[in-house]
Amino acid sequence: MLRAVIFDIDGVLLDSRAANIEFYRAFLARNGYAERSDDELAQGHYMNLREAIATLTRETSEARIDQLWEGAKVLEGYPMDLTQVPDGCEAVLTQLSQRYFLAVVTSRHRLGIEHFYATSGLESLLSVSIAFEDYERPKPAPDPLLTACRRLGVSPDEAVYVGDAEVDVLCAAAAGTGFIAYGPAIEQAPLRALSFADIPGLLAAV
């Protein structure tokens, strides 16, 4: 029996691609790195912050990557005005909250979740929020989803994860939860929601 629905933030609860591109563009410029194309910068949208920094700066020194990461975690100048909650998101979450536990699992740091809640107004609908600081191994390891399930008090087979990237598919498979692909990126996913309005019906098929 399905008891919990767990959502990724970036690319699912929040359209943040443009904001992430601009954040990484400014970060690279501020730290003296060469400019990257929008396609290169968009890679960071599907990575945790440390991975994105390592990829975009092309640094090989772990100490330097850690130094840059520590500075970036405060999200200086993050352009929240470029983000947008998808159409129908709040209404669907409100509907689902009457039947399921709802949670967030993200690669964002805790401050990034706080920024998201401050601008989206969705915090009251989500009973558990799992940030990068809450687990040892990031996606695609199962740790983020297993941590969420423990805090929700459900078993993994009673939960479904809604994500938008291949790393989310792998995380769900490793954790033993169901999975719904949000958006067009994961074409081979058996269950795909192209809008929030699709999600309630798909949950019946999990």
pLDDT of residue 119: 87
pLDDT of residue 187: 82
pLDDT of residue 136: 94
Q: Which residues contact 109 (CB under 8 A, 6 or more apart)?
A: 49, 73, 75, 131, 132, 133
Q: pLDDT band for position 31 (50/70/90)?
A: very high
The Cα–Cα gap between 14 and 138 comes to 20
| Stated pTM of the model | 0.90
Which domains can be identified in the chain, with CATH numbers? Answer: 4-15+83-203 (3.40.50.1000), 17-80 (1.10.150)
